[in-house]
Structure 1
Amino acid sequence: MLVDSHCHLDFPDFAPELDAVVARARAAGVGCMLTISTRVRQFDRYRAIAEAYPDVFFTVGTHPHQAAEEPDVTEAEIVALAAHPRCVGIGEAGLDYHYGYSPKDVSERVFRTHIGAARTTGLPLVIHAREADDDMIAILEDETGKGAFKAVLHCFSSGAELARVGVRLGLYVSFSGILTFKKSEEIRAIAAEVPMDRLLVETDAPFLAPLPHRGKRNEPAFVARTNAVLADVKGVSAEAMAQATTENFFRLFSKAERPAQAASAA
């Protein structure tokens, strides 16, 4: 089976046919999907989706684009919401300097709040990092020094040094459809360096559809294509990569209940 470790099933792109989107994912061998929070205050939306589909879990957190909308969300609030049985992670949270939707100091404060929630709950933090490598490295090293926490660098599109630091600090690295793009040689080279036991695959749907679907709406079924390209990069079969990334997902997101068929296969 495959796992889409990062998608946004609450986005309006999927509203007219969410049942069909989930069904297509299942038909493509995707046995588990993680729908990701972008706003803590929209918690009920993610919860409703995860409660509607037994193979969908969710996270709670504030995306860096929305950090200025939710600057006052507290660690205690995140921790309390994360107690829901189908909430298996914190985030996504982090730094994004590409658009600058939130001031850097606000983004950093909100990000550190989420790190605290991840440390307190023991749930993994889903980290968003875009064009912020130096500050991200500094924060991760500083916060890890205060106490370990689990995390994944999602939709990796940063430089090699951030990936190396992340692996050294115990983080996982997740690759999206960007890995399949013709001009992503650098990202594929970084993926080749990441140890097999730290790799995840994702869609970030509805964004970043992999080739040959680029330019179209992405959906969880397409994670199979990213998995196949990652397998080529690592020199293993698609089946071996699917097994590795699935095992890695359930090791990192240990609160997520493994589907019965995957548990029996393991």
Structure 2
Amino acid sequence: MEKNCAIILAGGKGTRMGKKINKLFLKIKDRPLLSYTLEAFQKNKYIDTIILVSAREELEYCKSEIVLRYSFDKVKKIVCGGNTRQQSVLNGLNATDKCDIVLIHDGARPFVSQKIINDGVKYANLYGACACGVRPKDTIKVKNDDGFSESTLDRNKLFCVQTPQSFKRNVIINSHRSVMNKNIPVTDDTMTAEIYGYDVFLYEGSYTNIKITTPEDLFLGEKILDNFNCLDV
């Protein structure tokens, strides 16, 4: 039985990148961004299988130019995403019928460490739902409608959530199906579990586990690769 499954979301358009192609196919040091993300999970000893969620028109490209070209044999299925991230996650979950733990990860976070993945599996087994993240470095203000500072939040109680977000399969698939049936919009998977009544454990991620969103992030990504091999951490 394949116990631990990673769902990699690769169907976003990435309009803020300002490119005509999916940002995940852009290259960092002569390799597609998505290949780094998949390799991190391919190499992890606790991940048994990977489900890749792609836009319908990019399914064949993902298969030939990413999965087969880089020999990612843990990728067992490439499924079509939906119109929203929420629907894409549910499509991926519906393809995971033989696993205990599911890790949901943004394809645009290529610098996820092995420790973060390992901890996601560990804490999902312990608590049923967990996510990695970091404390904000900046002071966070609440701004009112007139543009003035309304209050200052306690930075020690704030947490910038990243992915992977990891769950026992029954926890997250039931949560997603429930919120979809009730037409409740959610911004991430921990919110889905919380709405359904589950407590989510938050554990330490990394400031290098960035999401590639803008052209500036590509330059930062190159610097990250120059300074450490994120796939072996």
TM-score (norm 2): 0.32
Which of the pair is proportionally richer in helix?
A: 1
TM-score (norm 1): 0.29
Which of the pair is proportionally richer in strand?
A: 2
